[in-house]
Amino acid sequence: MTTIAPPPFIPENAPFSSAQRAWLNGFLAGLFSQGGVALPPNSTPAATVNLTVLYGTQTGTAASLSRGFVKDAKKLGFAAKAMDMAEFSADQLKDVTHLLIITSTYGDGEPPDNAKALHAELLSDAAPSLAHLEYAVLGLGDTNYEKFCACAIEFDERLLKLGARRIYERVDCDLDYEAAAQSWFEGVCAVLKGSQTLPQPVEIEPPTIRESPGYGRSHPFSAPLLENKVLNFPGSAKETRHLAFSLAGSDLRYEPGDALAVYATNCPELVDDLLRVTGFDGEEAVIGSNGKEKPLRLALLRDYDIGNLNRGALEKFSKFCRTPELERLLAPQHSAELTTYLHGRQWIDLVTQYPILDSRPADFVALLRKMQPRLYSIASSLTAHPNEVHLCVGIVRYETHGRRRKGVCSTYLAERIETDVPVFVHSNASFRLPVDASRDVIMIGPGTGIAPFRSFLQERTCSGDTGRNWLFFGDQRSASDFLYREEIESLQKNGSLHRLDLAFSRDQPEKIYVQHRMREQARELWRWLEGGAHLYVCGDASRMAKDVDAELQRIIQKEGAMTSEAAADYVVQLKTLKRYQRDIY
């Protein structure tokens, strides 16, 4: 291994102001002063690096991160492009010299939909040798899931096995991904800069976390609440709410398929309980998530996740209070027991069971994860409702270990909106209406999965799209859980909704779900698909989306008279052509 020499400073005659030149020189020097940057001996210092950034994404985070990195890479003088994994095959890797993979993980440690085909290709025996390739992988995930960043790990390990050279260690990011992702990118750039001659950069600005100007993740808009009503009727076991917010004065724009991210505050009673159990009075100064001092109570209300536990939280806590019982539970051989212990337990349970009465508030806060915004599929179209955004939210309440629990954000939206709500738009280019407005669309969205389809239908109706619309909706009972019933029936009457299939699971002795309705309509569904229809699924990822996917393959196999392999290929093709898209959670 050879260590990279620092890059040349920006010459005096480069087209920058002295301040820009000073910043750039500082930035490059900073990158190289981190010390850990090493290149393998056979790297080629003189050639211009052509960087391909492949993203695997379900809800758009990896895509926007990749596009942002490509923009910054170009500013640093690299030739770079971001590509959707769905549009990329393993064979194309023969023309790639420098590859960055940025991917999330979904389901039970699975690749996101757009990464499935490439992932399968690369993991198969037919995968090409990649001895010519230099690469680095960034994982996006959530430590609440057992298979944290599994897809990124698999890509990373497989590329190495196929002979590619890893130029930078993989970083696996938790939901709070920005700083870790940025530092990974800077590290990768530092390595790459050692192997190329840079053309003059055209424009440079400090490499901050990217965000479109205006309101965003680190600067949410305070949206006034316009409407908050329960959509279920008496007799329902559920509480599903329609919420409308004003975006007036924000310049925030969204497209059908996007999500709204909401910053909630924790339940004040839970915060009070936590203070009581920990013995703090809440006035102690601690560091908030923005790095500034604030009273503990405020930090617990707004800045930190005091809800559900995961392995990471327990590991930190166990080190903090040195409890043999927890240490035992965390041993690899007790992972099943750990899962059982974690299920339904929260911070309040932990500090009740293992008191931390003599601790400093700052040490306790250091154990907590930052509060994360929750995403909600947008249920309105700006064309139909200028300056408004609507959501359809299922309120989460349950009881575990003798305590009534409240989902942080959903119950905040249901019960506690006292001032305007901090929001930003989370763009999701992986869930979009067909560009060709004459295409038919099939929408499968039981429960709150109806949300983006309300948006789709509003948009298609207002825009006069000529393609037909087919909705599969389901919930528990038709009398109490037919969300947006009047709207849907009126769309049917005025001819905007061409087909509607309903599945109410508890209206009859046997359970009927949307996948059963799909089976009943198999021939027609196949006709629509063969006619070029786009198919969308939104809602529950754990069961519904899997059952719908299995039914879709069955229908294609039967109606298309195919083998199961050919049907699976057909589905892959639909995904590649962006005619099968899922917004599942």
Binding site for ligand FAD (CB under 6 A): 59, 259, 307-308, 344, 374-377, 392-394, 396, 398, 400, 407-410, 448, 451, 583, 585
Stretch that binds ligand FMN, among 60-68, 69-77, 236-244, 281-289 (CB under 6 A): 60-68
Integer distance in angstroms from the first to the last C-alpha of the chain?
44
| Cα distance between residue 256 and residue 453, in whole Å | 8
The answer to whether the beta carbons of residues 528 and 442 sit under 8 Å apart is yes
The answer to whether the beta carbons of residues 142 and 148 sit under 8 Å apart is yes
Stretch that binds ligand FMN, among 27-35, 105-113, 127-135, 470-478 (CB under 6 A): 105-113
Q: In the bound complex, what is the minimum distance in angstroms from residue 527's beta carbon to ligand FAD?
A: 30
Residue 27 binds which entry of ligand FAD, ligand FMN, none, CB below 5-8 Å type-dependent: none
Q: Does 155 bind ligand FMN (CB under 6 A)?
A: no
Residue 259 binds which entry of ligand FAD, ligand FMN, none, CB below 5-8 Å type-dependent: ligand FAD
| Cα distance between residue 371 and residue 578, in whole Å | 33
| Cα distance between residue 582 and residue 585, in whole Å | 10
Q: Does 9 bind ligand FMN (CB under 6 A)?
A: no
Measured from each CB, the residue nearest to ligand FAD is 407
Q: In the bound complex, what is the minimum distance in angstroms from residue 293's beta carbon to ligand FMN?
A: 30
Residue 344 binds which entry of ligand FAD, ligand FMN, none, CB below 5-8 Å type-dependent: ligand FAD
Residue 451 binds which entry of ligand FAD, ligand FMN, none, CB below 5-8 Å type-dependent: ligand FAD
Residue from 261, 300, 541, 571 in contact with ligand FMN (CB under 6 A): 541
The nearer residue to ligand FAD, 133 or 270, going by C-beta atoms, is 270
SS3 content of the chain, % helix, strand, coil (to 5): 40, 20, 40
The nearer residue to ligand FAD, 59 or 232, going by C-beta atoms, is 59
Binding mask 129-148 vs ligand FMN (x if CB under 6 A, - otherwise)?
-----------xxx--x-xx
Residue 149 binds which entry of ligand FMN, ligand FAD, none, CB below 5-8 Å type-dependent: ligand FMN
Residue 307 binds which entry of ligand FMN, ligand FAD, none, CB below 5-8 Å type-dependent: ligand FAD
Which runs of consecutive H residues, i.e. helices, occur in 322-385?
A: 324-329, 335-342, 347-353, 361-365
Q: Give the Cα-Cα-Cα angle 198, 166, 192 (nearest 5 degrees).
A: 10
The nearer residue to ligand FAD, 50 or 228, going by C-beta atoms, is 228
Q: Does 105 bind ligand FMN (CB under 6 A)?
A: yes
Residue tagged 């027991």 (tokens): 337
Size of the site for ligand FMN (CB under 6 A): 25
The nearer residue to ligand FAD, 195 or 428, going by C-beta atoms, is 428
Angstrom CA distances, 204 to 6, 64, 198, stand at: 19, 19, 14
Closest Cα to residue 424, out of 383, 381, 372, 385? 372
Residue from 104, 240, 380, 496 in contact with ligand FMN (CB under 6 A): 104
Burial 233-265 (b: 16+ CB within 10 A, else e): eeebebbbbbbbbbbeebebebbbbbbbbbbbb
Q: Does 451 bind ligand FMN (CB under 6 A)?
A: no
Q: In the bound complex, what is the minimum distance in angstroms from residue 217's beta carbon to ligand FMN?
A: 12
Secondary structure (3-state) at 128: coil
Q: Does 539 bind ligand FMN (CB under 6 A)?
A: no
The answer to whether the beta carbons of residues 49 and 133 sit under 8 Å apart is no
Residue 109 binds which entry of ligand FAD, ligand FMN, none, CB below 5-8 Å type-dependent: ligand FMN
Q: Does 585 bind ligand FMN (CB under 6 A)?
A: yes
- Residue 262: HSE in the Cβ half-sphere, 13 Å Cα cutoff: 31
Q: In the bound complex, what is the minimum distance in angstroms from residue 320's beta carbon to ligand FAD?
A: 23
Residue from 59, 318, 455, 469 in contact with ligand FMN (CB under 6 A): 59
Q: Give the Cα-Cα-Cα angle 150, 152, 155 (nearest 5 degrees).
A: 110
Phi-psi map region of 329: left, alpha, beta (phi>0 left; psi -120 to 50 alpha): alpha
Q: Considering only residues 172-231, where is the footprint of ligand FMN by CB under 6 A?
A: 175
Beta strands 580-584 and 534-539 are parallel
Residue 142 binds which entry of ligand FAD, ligand FMN, none, CB below 5-8 Å type-dependent: ligand FMN
Residue 393 binds which entry of ligand FAD, ligand FMN, none, CB below 5-8 Å type-dependent: ligand FAD
| Cα distance between residue 293 and residue 285, in whole Å | 6
The answer to whether the beta carbons of residues 520 and 450 sit under 8 Å apart is no
Residues that bind ligand FMN (CB under 6 A): 57-62, 104-109, 112, 140-142, 145, 147-150, 175, 541, 584-585
